[in-house]
Amino acid sequence: MAVAVAVPWARPSTGPGREAARIVDGACVRGWLTEVAGSLEAERDYLTQLDAAIGDADHGINMHRGFTAVMRRVGDLDAATPGMLLKTAGRTFVSTVGGAAEPLYGTAFLAAGEILDDGDTFGPRRLLEALRASLEGVQRIGAASEGDKTMVDALAPALAAYDLELRTGGSLETAVRAAREAASDGARATVPMQARKGRASYLGPRSVGHQDPGATSTSLMFAALERAVLADRTQRFAAGARSRGSRP
């Protein structure tokens, strides 16, 4: 398939030594959702085990079921904008998943989708706004702050790391890597925390010593985002090389 992309590196660079802002399109977002679905399938039992220690033992099952439905629905959309894809994911989540994952992740995807609206592509800055809208949506519903042992403990540091990386001259690739690292560190940092939100908070001090399943599924999503962005770049390189090579 000839992907008629406005090859980013063909555009003038925005500053000395800086790559032009990479853009993300529907194909890349679709790739991300596919990566998330695969990762939730692979880690379903792990997430459920984490949830059995401090929750209701259904997080892995709920997330897997939700994303299976998301992929079915997204597969039915032919040419969809990134915003449309995320909004579809959010709505599907709300209608198929049980437990706390449904309103929280549903809102996160919907809020991000609203920000991306119906543009065909978006740049790294726009992604930052989308992530910020997700975090705000999650906090509005769950009233959780960092340190409460929830998905916010992965999402908030990921957002901060992504932001910092972009501010300090990083590219989309390095920013999503920083986000993935921060989300994963954030999820691990929930182990010694005592839960202050969600079912785990009922356990009081007994919630200490277990990794939060919600923070863990959030960190899986950032890992999937990095993989999707890198795969997308590789594809673009190949496409770019082909189009350059075929030039007379």
Partner 1 sequence: MIQSVGRAARILKALGSESARLGVTELAERLGLAKATVHGLLRTLEAHQFVQQDLETGKYRLGPALLQLGNAFLDNHELRARSLLWAETLAGRAGEAVHVGVLYGPNVLLVHHVFRPDNSVQILQVGASIPWHACALGKAIVAYLEPEGRHELLAGPLPRLTGRTLTTRGALGAELDRVLDGGVAVEDQEAIVGEAGVAAALFDNRGAVVGAIGLAGPVERLLPDGPAADAVAAVKEAARGLSRELGAGRLATPGAGA
User: What residues line the site for partner 1 (CB under 8 A)?
Assistant: 48, 52, 55-58, 98-104, 139-143, 194, 197-199, 201-206, 208-210
Which of 21/53 has CB closer to partner 1?
A: 53
Closest CA to 127 of 7, 10, 232, 3: 232
Which of 32/105 has CB closer to partner 1?
A: 105
Q: At its nearest, how many Å lie between partner 1 and the CB of residue 198? A: 6
Q: What one-character DSSP code corresponds to residue 170?
A: -
* Residue 200 token pair: 């785990």
Degrees, nearest 5: CA angle 124-125-128: 90
- Measure the CA–CA gap between 15 and 183, rounded to whole angstroms: 30
Which of 54/89 has CB closer to partner 1?
A: 54
Q: At its nearest, how many Å lie between partner 1 and the CB of residue 219? A: 19
Which of 72/206 has CB closer to partner 1?
A: 206
- Measure the CA–CA gap between 180 and 220, rounded to whole angstroms: 8
Calculate the CA 136 to chain-centre distance. Answer: 14
Q: At its nearest, how many Å lie between partner 1 and the CB of residue 129? A: 21
Q: At its nearest, how many Å lie between partner 1 and the CB of residue 74? A: 23
